[in-house]
């Protein structure tokens, strides 16, 4: 481009010398012919001419040889146009490209492919759920990056289902709180089954206390005793029990926990937010499991929930635990596998294929 520009300038310079040595009469006649030809071309074209860099440089050089009062008659551009050309040259020069630093590296194509694969194999997973699964596999990535990759792939990222919490109390006493509530399940034959669940706020460990179609106060108290036996010495670290005002939570039920040194806190009427974590895990059970499978009866429900309990406590990442499962105190350190090999990440179906787990192949 530079050689072409120099060639045009040299050619125009020789043309200017040839004009200077000619007689005034011949130059005036040629100017009249060119001006008339220019007017005819402007009438026919009707559009503004497109000037190249060489044309602009040549017109800027000739502008110093013509008086300003004759510009409107001779020049095809105005002085403001020439000034604008100069401003554009200055703007192109000072782009500060030499001071720019490269940003963070782009997400590798194998990681992008794995994110899209997880989203398509798990329609109910959102971008934060996929981020947690990648963190377990040894690929730390921002949730916003996962959201952008899914959006570009045409997959709508699920909204973040972060319910409001009982902030001041739950945040300060999370490790010492256990909560309970009833989960109601409708079977295929429209029979209602009740599930009593407990969840520890600090570790997010889920406990399945019992399943029955006819819950009573005595049955609920017996499930509380069974839970205390299962917890063993770990119940010493708990100080509070949260439950709602269901009449099934009788005084005998509460005495089982008060005898172990726990303080029972009853939520206000119609205030599920006071037991938000337990309500949240019930919603998780419905979204990830119960809304995707038909329950035949109590035995079938018990089998499905126990299998899901293994996945929930042993594999499923939790945001409050830095994407670690409840039963793992520290996420095991693993070398990052080469994702160019599609067999490096294995999928393990759980609960009749409704839940997927991802592990390293080796």
pLDDT for position 61: 73
Task: Tell whether the model's pLDDT for residue 29 goes beyond 80.
Answer: no
Provide mean pLDDT across the span 186-209: 93
- C-alpha to C-alpha distance for 177 and 199, rounded to whole angstroms: 9
pLDDT digits (tens, 9 = 90+) for 122-160: 877 888 889 989 988 888 888 889 988 988 888 877 654
- The listed range with the strongest mean pLDDT (48-52, 77-81, 202-206, 254-258) is 254-258
What's the chain's average pLDDT?
81
pLDDT for position 163: 45
- In sequence order, what E strands does 161-251 have? 177-186, 192-200, 206-212, 240-243
DSSP string, 313-332: HHT--BGGGTSB-TT-SSPP
pLDDT for position 102: 67
pLDDT for position 220: 96
* CB within 8 Å of 101: residues ≥ 6 apart: none
Top pLDDT among 190 and 94 is at: 190
Top pLDDT among 36 and 284 is at: 284
Strand pairing partners for 212? 194
Q: What is the DSSP letter of 297?
A: S
Task: Tell whether the model's pLDDT for residue 184 goes beyond 70.
Answer: yes
Burial class (CB in 10 A: 0-12, 13-18, 19+), 249: buried
Tell me what percent of the residues of the chain surpass a pLDDT of 90. Answer: 31
pLDDT band for 180, please (50, 70, 90 cuts): very high
pLDDT for position 267: 92
Top pLDDT among 318 and 281 is at: 281
pLDDT digits (tens, 9 = 90+) for 304-353: 999 999 999 988 888 777 788 888 754 555 556 566 776 778 888 888 78
What predicted TM-score, i.e. pTM, was given to this entire model?
0.55
């Amino acid at each position: 481009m530079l050689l072409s520009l120099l060639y045009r300038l040299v050619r125009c310079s020789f043309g200017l010398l040839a004009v200077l040595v000619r007689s005034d009469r011949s130059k005036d006649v040629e100017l009249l012919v060119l001006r008339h030809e220019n007017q005819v071309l402007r009438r026919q074209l009707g559009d503004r001419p497109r000037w190249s860099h060489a044309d602009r440089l040549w017109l800027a050089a000739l502008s110093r040889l013509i008086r300003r009062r004759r510009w409107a008659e001779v020049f095809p551009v105005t002085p403001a146009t020439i000034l604008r050309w100069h401003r554009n040259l200055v703007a192109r020069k000072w782009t500060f490209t030499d001071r720019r630093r490269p940003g963070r590296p782009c997400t590798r194509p194998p990681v992008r492919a794995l994110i899209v694969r997880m989203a398509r194999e798990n329609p109910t997973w959102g971008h934060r759920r996929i981020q947690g699964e990648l963190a377990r596999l040894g690929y730390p990535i921002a949730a916003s990056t996962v959201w952008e990759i899914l959006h570009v792939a045409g997959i709508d990222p699920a909204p973040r289902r972060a319910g409001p919490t009982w902030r001041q109390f739950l945040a300060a006493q999370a490790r010492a709180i256990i909560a309970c509530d009833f989960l109601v399940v409708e079977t295929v034959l429209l029979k209602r089954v009740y599930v009593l669940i407990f969840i520890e706020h600090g570790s997010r460990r889920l406990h399945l206390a019992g399943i029955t179609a006819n819950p009573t106060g005595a049955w609920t108290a017996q499930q509380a005793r069974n839970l205390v036996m299962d917890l063993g010495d770990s119940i010493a670290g708990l100080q509070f029990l949260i439950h709602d005002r269901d009449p099934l939570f009788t005084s005998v039920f509460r005495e089982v926990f008060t005898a172990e040194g726990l303080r029972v806190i009853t939520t206000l009427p119609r205030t599920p937010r006071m037991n938000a974590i337990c309500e949240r895990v019930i919603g998780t059970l419905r979204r990830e499991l119960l809304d995707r499978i038909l329950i035949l009866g109590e035995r079938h429900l018990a089998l499905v929930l126990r299998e899901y309990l293994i996945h929930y406590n042993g594999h499923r990442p939790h945001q409050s635990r830095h994407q670690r499962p409840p039963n793992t105190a520290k996420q095991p350190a693993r070398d990052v596998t080469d994702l160019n090999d599609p067999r490096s990440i294995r999928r393990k179906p759980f609960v009749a294929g409704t839940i997927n787990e991802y592990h390293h192949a080796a």
